[in-house]
Amino acid sequence: MPVIEADGCPLHVEIEGDAGAPVLMLGNSLGTDLHLWDDQAAVLARQFRIVRYDQRGHGKSDFVAGRGTIERFGRDALAVMDTLGLKRVHWCGLSMGGMVGQWLAAQAPQRIGKLVLANTSSYFPSKAPWDERIRAVRERGLEKIADGIMKIWFTDDFIARAPAAVARMRAILVATPVDGYIAACEAIRDMDHRELLSRIEAPTLVIGGRHDRSTPLEAAEFIRSRIPGAALTLLDAAHISNVEQTAAFNGEVLKFLTQPEHRAPVGGS
């Protein structure tokens, strides 16, 4: 699979599906990698050309020292598109991936067809929780906080009935490089997309989790209310809703993406 340079930072990319199909890019969340989307890729690749990648400092992508910003992550996504010759794509991002999607749709609107923003936020009013998490990771590492993160990512019911899925996600979290994780925390902490939302013209689906404590329903509703024409759907899940409610998530995304739109096709040049 290709390794793409984004301003000197190598990014690991994987591509699946028919080369002639519309392109759907997937953006992973904080502390995960492109395997966050394993349960989506096999289904969505039947109708879309799937491009997924490890955001910088995550998975097999490198990390270049410096303070993280959502703009930097957004420009990484544009570098992937440019290198692959993709003028326009659909975008589906969860949590941090949704924050990147907001930036892309507002700052590079010609590059985004349809937009799915799952379990995400546009702003965090208090920096203190992020400062505390950064300090904890710096001092103790990701292994020490991993069990607590799982209780944020998933409901107690899912943890009890799907231990293998939870173990897989926990392993991905713990394998994340500490410097990359901290840079992403800084980017999320300092993000303020509230004024960008009204500039988003792409047809948008917001997905929220009824039990999401990380990006609660108020955050999802705020995004929906500020993006013209955006729709909101709620799933019976906590933060990583695409893993906890795979079938429902896939169904909502497919339904949204396959609805007719009167715009130019997305994909290559």
How do residues 221-247 score in pLDDT, each as one tens digit?
Answer: 999 999 999 999 999 999 999 999 999
* Predicted structure pTM score: 0.94
Task: Quickly name the fold that domain 3-268 has.
Answer: Rossmann fold (3.40.50)
CA distance 41 to 34: 10
Residue type, 131: D
Cα–Cα distances (Å) from 162 to 20, 41, 252, in that order, read: 36, 20, 22
What per-residue confidence (pLDDT) applies to 261?
67
31-45: pLDDT as tens digits: 999 999 999 999 999
Helices then strands, each counted (H, E), the chain: 11, 9
CA distance 5 to 234: 36
154-205: pLDDT as tens digits: 999 999 999 999 999 999 999 999 999 999 999 999 999 999 999 999 999 9
What per-residue confidence (pLDDT) applies to 7?
85
11-31: pLDDT as tens digits: 999 999 999 999 999 999 999
- First-to-final CA distance of the chain: 21
Cβ-based neighbours of 219, under 8 Å, separated by 6 or more: 120, 121, 122, 208
What is the average per-residue pLDDT within 245-252?
Answer: 98
Using pLDDT thresholds of 50, 70 and 90, give the confidence band for residue 8. Answer: confident
